[in-house]
Amino acid sequence: MERRKFVQRSGLGALSALLGAEIVFGNRLPEGLPLLGLQDPDPFKMFGKDPQMVVLNDKPWNMEALAHLLDDPITPNRFMFIRNNGKIPESIDVANWTLTFDGEAVRSPKTYTLNDLKSRFPQHTYQLTLECGGNGRSEFDPPAKGNQWTVGAVSCAEWTGVRLSDVLKDVGITANAVYIGYHAADTHLSGDPTKEPISRGIPIDKAMQEETLLAFKMNGEDIPLAHGHPLRLVVGGWPASTSGKWLTGISVRDRVHDGEKMTGSSYRVPCETVAPGEKVADEDMCIIESMPVKSLITSPKTGATLPLGRSLSFRGHAWAGDLQVSRVDYSIDFGSTWKSCNLEQPANRLAWQHFSGTASFPKKGYYELWVRATDSNGKAQPMVLPGWNPKGYLNNACHRIALKIT
């Protein structure tokens, strides 16, 4: 029923797009009456996604890409993962959309319309890597609760908007500003209007970085509804949960933000290494900030077969949170020896970097191609699972694909 409400209130133009045909006499449709053709909507059409995407959950919607679908240098909407915590807003009034700044560390609350943001501040465009903190969760043992992401909850789209720092300067923040926390128009799964599905934040230093945007375009077009239309906070290099969708408010705090999913075990890992399965007290958990170095083979896809004597050309992307990737290596002997890949510079800071290489194989049989990225501080991906944590965050083990040489 919830899906029906969502599509019914999306407007006749959107409904026509979903149906693939004009709704003749659509202006005469009785209010609230669901169209028969949309009583069981296709989530791929509804969100403009490729049918090869994998749906992990529909309450709320969570969807990921397979590794080979992420081959584009800039991730298109059809292959971009969806990670929601609540219900997508059922109605968007762009003309009257506002963003309010408040909190302990502003001189006085201030509200901007979308037009204010677009007309009063310089616009900037960056490619920014967003990765779910739980990407790779399915590999942890013992299993961690939550969506069992494999490797496809990552993207690097081109975002256009205004710098959050420019707007904060216009608002006027005080010297005691420590953190910002976002508020949004999505609603809690319970339907309780007093509960926020998620309200996370970032330290003021990260908020003031040039690449932290209040974005209204993705890949040159209005941000799709599932990704935060009409306004989204975009924080490259940090868990994608810090990039709040359907943005309506920013609270400038004089303390670490304590909104929904900022406390307890949410988006936190043990401050010290723990044994698998060990319980960890909330006070011993640390907030995830910059994401760890990681890489992804996007071509060929796993399971490829090629004849003996033919070299294998491969490619993919690598990223390192706030840092840059300094090198990417590959192995065909389960990590015993490594050879270097070609690595491109990022389009801008916090964009992923593209790598490529050519591998040869000595005889017929089964092989695995592994890739390992190293960040600008010299820290490399672990070959196998990193330290276990209760919520299955930050799995940055080497990506690998299966190959058969015949």
Instruction: Say if residue 242 is in the same domain as residue 303.
Output: no
Q: φ and ψ at 307, to 5 degrees? A: -75, 150
- Per residue in 316-345, pLDDT (tens digit) is 999 999 999 999 999 999 999 999 999 999
Across the chain, mean pLDDT equals: 93
Q: Residue 221 has which token pair?
A: 């077009």
207 within some domain: yes
Query: Structurally, how many domains does the chain consist of?
Result: 3
Instruction: State how far the Cα of 87 lies from the Cα of 183, in Å rounded to an integer.
Output: 14
- Per residue in 355-377, pLDDT (tens digit) is 999 999 999 999 999 999 999 99
DSSP letters along 213-263, please? EEEEEETTEEPPGGGTTT-EEE-TTSBGGGS-SSEEEEEEESS----TTSS
Structure confidence at residue 38 (pLDDT): 56
What residue numbers bound the domain in which 19 lies? 1-41
74 within some domain: no
334 within some domain: yes
Name residues whose C-beta falls within 8 Å of residue 48's C-beta, 6 or more positions apart in sequence.
77, 78, 224, 226
- What percent of the chain is modeled with pLDDT above 70? 93
Q: Which amino acid is at 293?
A: V
Instruction: Say if residue 320 is in the same domain as residue 281.
Output: no
47 within some domain: no
Instruction: State how far the Cα of 313 lies from the Cα of 359, in Å rounded to an integer.
Output: 7
Name residues whose C-beta falls within 8 Å of residue 387's C-beta, 6 or more positions apart in sequence.
270, 273, 274
Distance from CA of residue 260 to its chain's centroid?
Answer: 18
Beta-bridge mates of residue 34: none
Instruction: Say if residue 213 is in the same domain as residue 314.
Output: no
Q: Tell me which of 287, 320, 352 is where a domain ends.
A: 287
Helix ranges (DSSP H) in 11-143? 12-19, 43-47, 114-120
248 within some domain: yes
78 within some domain: no
In this structure, what CATH number is given to the domain that contains residue 389?
2.60.40.650
Contact 163, 235 (CB under 8 A): no
280 within some domain: yes
Q: Closest by alpha carbon to 299, among 217, 354, 246?
A: 354
Instruction: Say if residue 24 is in the same domain as residue 153.
Output: no
Quickly state the pLDDT bin for 43 (edges 50, 70, 90): confident
Q: Closest by alpha carbon to 339, among 364, 323, 360?
A: 360
Quickly state the pLDDT bin for 42 (edges 50, 70, 90): confident
Instruction: Say if residue 195 is in the same domain as residue 266.
Output: yes
Region 173-193: mean pLDDT is 95
**CA angle at residue 289 from 283 to 294, to 5 degrees?**
125
Polymer length of the chain: 406
Quickly state the pLDDT bin for 7 (edges 50, 70, 90): very low
Instruction: Say if residue 254 is in the same domain as residue 338.
Output: no
Q: Say whether pTM exceeds 0.75.
A: yes
Q: Exposure string (b/e) for 365-392, b if CB count within 10 Å is 16 or more?
A: eebebbbbbbbeeeebbeeeebebbbbb
Beta-bridge mates of residue 58: 61
Instruction: Say if residue 266 is in the same domain as residue 319.
Output: no
Q: Which amino acid is at 229?
A: H
- Per residue in 197-254, pLDDT (tens digit) is 999 999 999 999 999 999 999 999 999 999 999 999 999 999 999 999 999 999 999 9
Contact 122, 264 (CB under 8 A): no
Instruction: State how far the Cα of 203 lies from the Cα of 356, in Å rounded to an integer.
Output: 35
Instruction: Say if residue 313 is in the same domain as residue 187.
Output: no
In this structure, what CATH number is given to the domain that contains residue 156?
3.90.420.10
Q: φ and ψ at 371, to 5 degrees? A: -125, 145
Region 170-193: mean pLDDT is 96
Helix ranges (DSSP H) in 20-130? 43-47, 114-120
Q: Which amino acid is at 260?
A: E
Structure confidence at residue 244 (pLDDT): 98
Instruction: Say if residue 129 is in the same domain as residue 278.
Output: yes
Instruction: Say if residue 37 is in the same domain as residue 126.
Output: no
Q: Tell me which of 245, 261, 287 is where a domain ends.
A: 287
Instruction: Say if residue 207 is in the same domain as residue 318.
Output: no
84 SS3 class:
coil
- Per residue in 93-131, pLDDT (tens digit) is 999 999 999 999 999 999 999 999 999 999 999 999 999
Task: Give the N- to C-terminal CA distance of the chain in Å, as an integer.
Answer: 52
221 within some domain: yes
Instruction: State how far the Cα of 395 lies from the Cα of 294, in Å rounded to an integer.
Output: 9
Instruction: Say if residue 121 is in the same domain as residue 181.
Output: yes
Structure confidence at residue 9 (pLDDT): 43
């080979």: which residue's tokens? 68
